Amino acid sequence: MKFTGAEIIIKAFEHEGVDVVFGYPGGQILPFYDKLYDSSIRHILVRHEQGAAHAAEGYARATGKPGVCIATSGPGATNLVTGIANAYMDSIPIIALTGQVPTSKIGSDAFQEADITGITLPIVKHSYLVRDVNTLAGIVRSAFHIATTGRPGPVLIDLPNNISTATAEFEYPPPVALRGYRLPGEIDPNLIYQAAKAIGEAKKPVIYSGGGVISSGASDELRELAERAQIPVTTTLLGKGAFPETHPLSLGMLGMHGTKYANYAISYSDLIIAIGARFDDRITGRLDTFAPHAKVIHIDIDPAEIGKNVRVHYPLNGDVKAVLKELLLRLEEPEDQEWLKQVKAWKAENPLTYTMIDGVIKPQYVVEQICDLTGGNGIVTTEVGQNQMWAAQYYRTLAPRTFISSGGLGTMGFGLPAAIGAQVGCPDKLVFDIAGDGSIQMNSQELATAVAYNLPIKVAILNNGYLGMVRQWQELMWNRRYSQTDLNVGTPDFVKLAEAYGALGLRATRPEEVRPVLEQAIATPKPVVIDFLVAREENVFPFVPPGEPLTKMVGG
């Protein structure tokens, strides 16, 4: 029996266990949408394709399953680009399916034609332009395999209209052998032995763990390593949740807006155990002054990350979980407790702080209250900027896949659609988007999606009427010249905006209103937007100015 290309895609999705997709229809993808109409796969209709890509990512990050987003050709496809780039930078498995003009018209500047495989070339793990319906099932299979294995990432399938209506036999192929796709093999036991020995001999070890721990599902192994060897753990923004931040060995986040004690620990350590992290510039500060006394163990699935930014003494290329398991078998536990005492002293002396002022809501306070009321059992997404850094600092994450933020790309407008994706994937969880007044306006149309599917997400806007992070940089580095960062004029009344969409809108203007408003939001089984009018010129501290060493922290 023969099936159309559109039917083959749907059957292949079913084989891959896809039960929900995020998308927006249009002309060239219509054959697919027609078949989807009869399918059991749930489709979440977003209001802008960028929302579909971010929602697919939020879904993937909350559930651990690949997210799927769908758009038509041309502008539909180009609207996915930011979301695809975001997933690429943060190594999140998503599949982007785009319609395309018929193969006979490709290259003719046809209506709604865009060379999306060309446009996305540098931001995908891989991509396919389907030219023959007989290859389609194999392509979908390979796409899911590539997106979800190794270092995960986005894979794009561009589906010309005539391929989606052409017919072929359907047989879902066995796992494909891709001769050009290499996954790390068994790790050399000798390398494990040497790394274990280095840990045993280290006087000042620190674990620096990133998003790779979460994508590998290695939180338990990380915890065992830290506890058995009594090594303090700092995480990146993407690593939040890999290690419970209430744990005595937790140092919270490191880097540009990291805690002072995490930055001291990494700067004065003699052994950094980097796990699923990539020594990004927001982590290292000025590279030639980064951790000058430390040897480096680097565990990462991507061989290209090892030695890319810093010199690595013990390269362990492999899946984080598998490598940690091996390492734990040979672990030598250091006996020296002096370092831990020092780190704990730093922690006690340099807590994250802010000052409460009568009658003024501090944004950090709002985050603390969200953390307290959810008990760490919810999922938090963030937008990008000050809201994101306060969320990272003051929302103590307890479990993996519960803190979802745009790290590498820093995409404003990520948080709301990501929250939608997370809520779709985890319907029983309480999902908060911690937002800023600038970021939320970049994808606020997705409130319609939240309302349409009655997704009870809570959008907490830390409204300071500024593009706060840029304003902070202008204050600290550009002589208080607030060029184009004041958003006060023109910003909508967020309560009315929420109501216009059919969501609940709430507002807090004084500190004592924060908690009751949050409680009301949590008790409301539908989407809620809360407008917190916060201190306008509050800064995120500590702050390592760009290009400075990590020890040179300003404020806090």
The residues of the shown chain that bind other proteins, judged by CB under 8 A, are: 117-118, 121-122, 125-126, 129, 146, 178-182, 302-304, 307-308
Closest CA to 93 of 19, 152, 151: 152
Closer by beta carbon to other proteins, 15 or else 126: 126
Comparing CB distances to other proteins, the nearer of 47 and 125 is 125
Closest CA relative to residue 29, chosen from 80, 95, 73: 73
- Report the alpha-carbon distance of residue 417 to residue 50 in Å, rounded: 8
**Strands 504-508, 403-404: pairing kind:** unpaired
CB 501 within 8 A of CB 451: yes
SS3 283: helix
Least CB distance to other proteins at residue 25 (A):
27
Other CB atoms within a 10 A radius of the CB of residue 120 amount to 22
Backbone φ and ψ of 448, nearest 5° = -60, -40
Taking the complex as a whole, how short is the minimal distance between the CB of residue 112 and other proteins, in angstroms? 21
Quickly tell me which residue has 């266990």 as its tokens.
17
Q: From CA 308, how far away is CA 311, in angstroms rounded?
A: 8
CA atoms of 157 and 29, how far apart (whole Å):
12
CA distance 94 to 105: 28
Nearer to other proteins, 124 or 420 (CB): 124
User: Residues 404, 380: contact at Cβ < 8 Å?
Assistant: yes
Shortest distance in whole angstroms from residue 279 CB to other proteins: 13
For other proteins, the closer of residues 306 and 529 by Cβ is: 306
Helix 320-329 and helix 219-229, axial crossing angle in degrees, nearest 10: 30
CB–CB of 508/514 below 8 Å?
yes
Which CB atom, from 20 or from 147, has the smaller least distance to other proteins? 147
Find the shortest distance in angstroms from Cβ 50 to other proteins. 22
**Shortest distance, position 463 Cβ to other proteins, whole Å:** 38
Identify the helix (H) or strand (E) that includes residue 216. helix 211-216
Q: How far is the CB of 181 from other proteins (least distance, A)?
A: 5
Closest approach of other proteins to the CB of residue 319, in Å:
16
Cβ proximity to other proteins, 138 vs 502, nearer residue: 138
The DSSP call for residue 252 is E
CA distance 392 to 257: 9
Tell me whether residue 143 or residue 379 sits nearer to other proteins (CB atom).
143
CB of 297 to other proteins, least distance (A): 19
Of the pair 228, 308, the CB lying nearest other proteins is at: 308
